Amino acid sequence: MFLLKNIKYRDILDIKQLHIPSDKITCIVGESGSGKTTLLRLLNKMISCTEGEIYYNHNPISQIDSIDLRRDVVMLPQAPAIFPGTIEDNLLVGLRFSEKPLVNQDKLAEILKMVHLNKSPKENASQLSGGEKQRLALGRVILMAPAVFLLDEPSSALDESTEKIIIEQLVDYVKQNHKTLIMVTHSKKIAQTYADYIVEIKNGNLIDKRRE
Ligand SMILES: Nc1ncnc2c1ncn2[C@@H]1O[C@H](COP(=O)(O)OP(=O)(O)OP(=O)(O)O)[C@@H](O)[C@H]1O
Ligand SMILES: [Mg+2]
């Protein structure tokens, strides 16, 4: 799905070669400041590498239109934005931005259940807790149903039992729908339990990649 060849991003990342397979769950781990978010941002062309090339389905991403790429490859940032308005507005905003068809109330209810958010779509989103906002933002990207999910610590604000429920739902969804999930996590336990592959970054270098 992604192949990175001799990638450098300023003096932050330096990766000789990395293959990230499709239809699998890849977890990116490493200490704070090691370059995990930078790697995700390279994969959806929020930033471009200063040296080397990244291939998406064998095509150099330098030659893929950013908007086209981001229709396929959707990133959930580490601190996602919550917009003024209702939960429904916030769920639909990703579809609106990417000009995808909107969905009905049943689908919204299904997504809220999936991210374990027991709230009405008509409620104001600004009143949600930090962890609830994080789950709302995750619901937003699941609704977009991209081929590739780039999730930057999607469960960092959740307690361990909620985290387990959410990640299990996400993993089931990804497997059943043949999606590719690339997820940064601070939790070694999450990576070891759910990842098909673990990519470990230290000081901008790949130090390990192994099959679990
Ligand atoms: N645009 C930028 N300009 C300069 N330095 C940057 C830029 N973006 C990131 N950095 C630096 O690059 C390093 C890696 O940042 P990155 O956000 O990728 O780390 P991370 O592994 O995601 O960390 P965390 O676990 O804390 O989120 C950090 O030292 C950061 O300060
Ligand atoms: Mg980060």
Q: How far apart are CA 26 and CA 199, in angstroms?
A: 7
Across 112-138, average pLDDT:
97
- If you classify domain 2-211 with CATH, what class do you get? alpha beta
If pLDDT is split at 50, 70 and 90, which confidence band does 212 have?
A: very low
Look at residue 209 in the predicted model and tell me its pLDDT.
52
Look at residue 171 in the predicted model and tell me its pLDDT.
97
Read off the tokens for 189: 């336990």
If pLDDT is split at 50, 70 and 90, which confidence band does 208 have?
A: low
Q: How far apart are CA 76 and CA 85, in angstroms?
A: 19
Q: Which ligand has the minimum distance to the alpha carbon of residue 30?
A: 1
Look at residue 18 in the predicted model and tell me its pLDDT.
97
Q: Which ligand has the minimum distance to the alpha carbon of residue 35?
A: 1
Query: Is any ligand 1 atom within 6 A of the Cβ of residue 60?
Result: no
Q: For residue range 90-114, what is the model confidence (pLDDT) as tens digits?
A: 999 999 998 899 999 999 999 999 9
Query: Is any ligand 1 atom within 6 A of the Cβ of residue 36?
Result: yes
Q: How far apart are CA 115 and CA 202, in angstroms?
A: 31
Across 177-196, average pLDDT:
96
Query: Is any ligand 1 atom within 6 A of the Cβ of residue 32?
Result: yes
Residue in 38, 188, 200 to alter for ligand 1 test, most ligand atoms within 8 A of Cβ: 38
| 3-state SS string for 90-137 | HHHHHHHHCCCCCCCHHHHHHHHHHCCCCCCCCCEHHHCCHHHHHHHH
Average pLDDT, the chain: 95
Residue 15 amino acid letter: I
Look at residue 210 in the predicted model and tell me its pLDDT.
52
Query: Is any ligand 1 atom within 6 A of the Cβ of residue 156?
Result: no
Look at residue 132 in the predicted model and tell me its pLDDT.
97
Sketch the domain layout of the chain as residue ranges.
2-211
